[in-house]
Structure 1
Amino acid sequence: MSYKVAIRSFKTLTYVGSYKKLRDRPVPYYCAALLGAGIVTYNQYKQNKYRAEAKEIMQLRNYMAEPITPISQLEKTQDDMKAQMEMLIMRIQAEFCRALEKEEDEAWNDEKTEDEYDYENDIFLPSPEAKFKVDRWTRKEGGGGITCVLQDGRVFEKAGVNISVVSGKLPPAAVQQMKSRGKNFENKELPFFAAGVSAVIHPRNPMVPTIHFNYRYFEVEDKNEVHWWFGGGTDLTPYYLNEEDAIHFHMTLKHACDAHDASYYEKFKKWCDDYFHIPHRGERRGVGGIFFDDVDQPNQQSAFEFVTSCAEAVIPSYLPIVQKHKDDAYGYYERQWQLLRRGRYVEFNLIYDRGTKFGLHTPEARYESILMSLPLNAKWEYMHEPKPNSPEAKLMQVLKVPRDWLLIQKSKSSTT
């Protein structure tokens, strides 16, 4: 397993444009690259080892809060998929939040120290504690969640990373939504269990894209039979197009998919392009990624391992892009364009997103957590059109006609 991870990590590096620069540099740079791959390998090895030995439950101090399900119950049911999924999303939430907080810490460490300020000419701004506010909540009908939100950071204007572990009976609107996707339930009242992690990160710098990911597990009881399935995905929403970043992002997700089924990436990439579509605008929300729903093959454990790989691919797919662009220069014009694109993000989430609709229709819905995906600031202008041949217009071309970032169709054509 660790050997495959190392090879996959190195292959990802070869597809990133920055690697082209690396090839022409001295040997120490290669050593640094291999060391990075080794660290990734070791970290994933540790994570797999913890899962195999059910040590996720013992890592409470590393989570953002105490699990929703009592620890004693999780220990007794650690082989049950509901417990496995809760432990996975607890870990993914904590790892992602810590990674984002680290970016904030490093950003403020790069600022002047207190002794370096000229108080006559500088406005002294003390380094704030850009940490996630952790809000653990419960619902009467069953379960609860942990909402983690970071606001007004130097790198991230708003970052929300939520988990929810809920149970109860599906409301009619939710049942109807599932039937529209081909779920043939017979009972009118359906007991259900749902566990998932969902995150939306809105950066401050317009040169850094927004990312969204969501991975979830559902169980529904119908006539003494339990129906289960997984869903989720990761997608990228840039404000300015950087093709190198898009290729890196898609390649990282493809490697996660290929470890389980070579057909997954292409199929789920198209699903993502089709799903994150704003029909009334005739454009996609971003440059895509992967998206899937109703995954119940080949078996429950294999499906869970696939979702785990996808969730673990979020940090390596996104953090290098953040680190690359968080200090890029921008001005008023770029900021206004960023706010306009965020308005499109809001339109999709409130009008078309199934997850938002499901949350709003769930009894005792916690609207504050559901709407955490919305940006801190957004803007709408009447009939706005970017200038021809501008960087903004370049982005719009990709949003209107999704691109095959990894040239898979071209490769297929050449082989046939």
Structure 2
Amino acid sequence: MASSRPCLRVKGNQSLRDALRCQKPMRPQHASIRQYATPGPAKPRPYESKPKSQPLVGIRSQSSPAPATSPSSPTPKASTDTKPKAGTVVAPYWRISIGIILCGSIIYSMFTEPLQLESASIAERDTLSKRESGITPSSPMRLRMESLIKAQQQEIVAALERLDPSHRFRIDTWTRPNGGGGISCVLQEAKVFEKAGVNTSIVYGTLPRPAIAKMRVNHKALDPDVESLEFFAAGLSCVLHPQNPNAPTVHFNYRYFETMDDQGNCNAWWFGGGTDLTPSYLYDEDAIHFHRTIKEACDKHDRGYYARFKKWCDKYFYIPHRGESRGIGGIFFDDLDVEEKDQEELFSFTKDCLTAFLPSYLPIIQKRKDMPFTEREKEWQQLRRGRYVEFNLVHDRGTSFGLNTPGARVESILMSLPLTARWMYMHDPDKGSREERLLKVLKQPVEWVC
């Protein structure tokens, strides 16, 4: 005959057995709940010792005989009080059933309804791609350009620290709330350089409709009917202001810009950049070396590039209110897109121009950094730096774009300004002096190489 055994899941749980039987008061751990049900002092426990085990309702074996009832035992009277006693669980089976249904519904919805997650931004997807796959020749151009400028930044900073070991660059890494960031490397008051900066900048953002309409003048691929467009911009900028007035200031900037759809697919792109030399005292051999090195980089891609971009540079780095150029030029180009050449060719051209910087400038600074100079020559250098500040703050489009970009890092944008500058009222150089010769060249650009 089958034995009558309670369910093993509740056999050792006295509280659960009492609840299922709906006969016993709640165990002491529920005393706090009982106080809410029966205001006033707590009642004493109905029993002091552990109650005898009784079979759970509904588990008696069908073959087991029903417990005998003594004829002399009085028949228990049904209670007329329908209000449940304090401390008892009301309708336990209904509560358990409702709980099971509710939990089941929640679990079912978790597995059958798709989770509504916010889609990752283009910047987040690019970060994940770099972390998982690295950057390869098949990566999007924006990631390849970012990799190029960061590698060149490290190489240039290392070369300049070898040239001027008296100080180390201060390196600041920063991020943008909407994606991107940059690395600013700045050197101040060193032996060779009064101020030097080599900065990378990566920007993810959104172009509003007015900005799109303005850019369509040079880029017809932009959709004129959209309200906004996601964009990416990456660039490497460098400005070096030497201590010695005989050593020239130099600047370069190479950048890449693209617009994208919501999935990160590029729909318009272009390259820009250039480099120029700004001496306080003109040495013809320095100017020739600088321009020749740049021309060689241009000629590898197009024999017409140097003359075309040199003229563009002379026109761009011009201070209208002074009637003179900022320096003796170099090259400048912008908005080079598919109408110019294919993307790979223009990327290669930009890379060659960038890697030509150190060969174009290091021989010059090494030759001039230790030359003797006078206080008068230092004063002239400060006046020329004043012209540099005027152009950068009034006319430079890169400075304007940076300062008007939401979340812009002003310190990095104004890194290009010299540490010191000077303005004198109605200053004119002496006739026949080296200072006057420089001004003549600045007012009438020279063709340094053919």
TM-score, length-scaled by structure 1: 0.73
Q: Quick check: 2:135–2:144 contact (8 Å CA) kept in 1?
A: no
Pairwise CA distance, 1:166: 1.1
Q: Aligned equivalents of 2:188 and 2:210: distance in 1?
A: 33
Structure 2 counterpart of 1:288, one-letter code: G
Of 289, 313, 317 in structure 2, the residue corresponding to residue 248 of structure 1 is 289
Of 276, 283, 289 in structure 1, the residue corresponding to residue 317 of structure 2 is 276
Partner of 2:346: 303
1:388-408 deviation line (CA, Å, top 9, x unaligned): 1110000000100000111x3
Partner of 1:228: 269
Structure 1 counterpart of 2:399, one-letter code: T
Partner of 1:400: 443
Partner of 2:201: 164
Q: Aligned equivalents of 2:276 and 2:181: distance in 1?
A: 26
Note closer, same or farther for the CA distance 1:361–1:324 as it changes in structure 2 (3 Å cut): same
Structure 1 counterpart of 2:189, one-letter code: D
Note closer, same or farther for the CA distance 1:138–1:175 as it changes in structure 2 (3 Å cut): same
Q: Aligned equivalents of 2:181 and 2:261: distance in 1?
A: 23
Of 374, 384, 394 in structure 2, the residue corresponding to residue 341 of structure 1 is 384
Larger radius of gyration: 2
Of 72, 89, 96 in structure 1, the residue corresponding to residue 131 of structure 2 is 72
Of 224, 247, 267 in structure 1, the residue corresponding to residue 308 of structure 2 is 267
Note closer, same or farther for the CA distance 1:94–1:270 as it changes in structure 2 (3 Å cut): same
Q: Aligned equivalents of 2:386 and 2:209: distance in 1?
A: 31
Structure 1 counterpart of 2:388, one-letter code: Y
Pairwise CA distance, 1:170: 2.3
Pairwise CA distance, 1:221: 3.1
Partner of 1:377: 420
Q: Aligned equivalents of 1:270 and 1:382: distance in 2?
A: 31
Return the structure number with greater relative CO, CA threshold 8 A, min gap 6.
Answer: 1
Partner of 1:257: 298
Structure 2 counterpart of 1:331, one-letter code: T
Number of equivalent positions = 317
Structure 2 counterpart of 1:326, one-letter code: K
1:110-139 deviation line (CA, Å, top 9, x unaligned): xxxxxxxxxxxxxxxxxx5x1110000001
Q: Quick check: 1:174–1:361 contact (8 Å CA) kept in 2?
A: no
Note closer, same or farther for the CA distance 1:324–1:174 as it changes in structure 2 (3 Å cut): farther
1:227-258 deviation line (CA, Å, top 9, x unaligned): 00100001000000101100000000000000
Partner of 2:234: 195
Q: Does 1:141 align with 2:201?
A: no
Q: Aligned equivalents of 2:444 and 2:358: distance in 1?
A: 27
Q: Aligned equivalents of 1:252 and 1:76: distance in 2?
A: 30
Q: Quick check: 2:170–2:187 contact (8 Å CA) kept in 1?
A: yes
Q: Does 1:83 align with 2:143?
A: yes
Pairwise CA distance, 1:77: 5.8
> Within 5 A, what are the aligned runs for 1:68-147?
69=127, 71-72=130-131, 75=134, 79=138, 80-105=140-165, 128=166, 130-147=167-184
Note closer, same or farther for the CA distance 1:176–1:168 as it changes in structure 2 (3 Å cut): same
Structure 2 counterpart of 1:332, one-letter code: E
Q: Aligned equivalents of 1:373 and 1:76: distance in 2?
A: 30
Pairwise CA distance, 1:168: 1.2
Q: Does 1:292 align with 2:333?
A: yes
Q: Which runs of 5+ in 1 are unaligned?
A: 1-67, 106-127, 409-416
Q: Aligned equivalents of 1:282 and 1:235: distance in 2?
A: 18
Structure 2 counterpart of 1:244, one-letter code: E
Q: Quick check: 1:86–1:165 contact (8 Å CA) kept in 2?
A: yes
Measured on the aligned residues, the alpha-carbon RMSD in Å equals 1.9
Partner of 2:255: 216
Q: Aligned equivalents of 1:246 and 1:188: distance in 2?
A: 47
Of 400, 404, 407 in structure 2, the residue corresponding to residue 357 of structure 1 is 400
Structure 1 counterpart of 2:159, one-letter code: A
Q: Quick check: 1:171–1:361 contact (8 Å CA) kept in 2?
A: no
Higher helix fraction: Structure 1 or Structure 2? 1
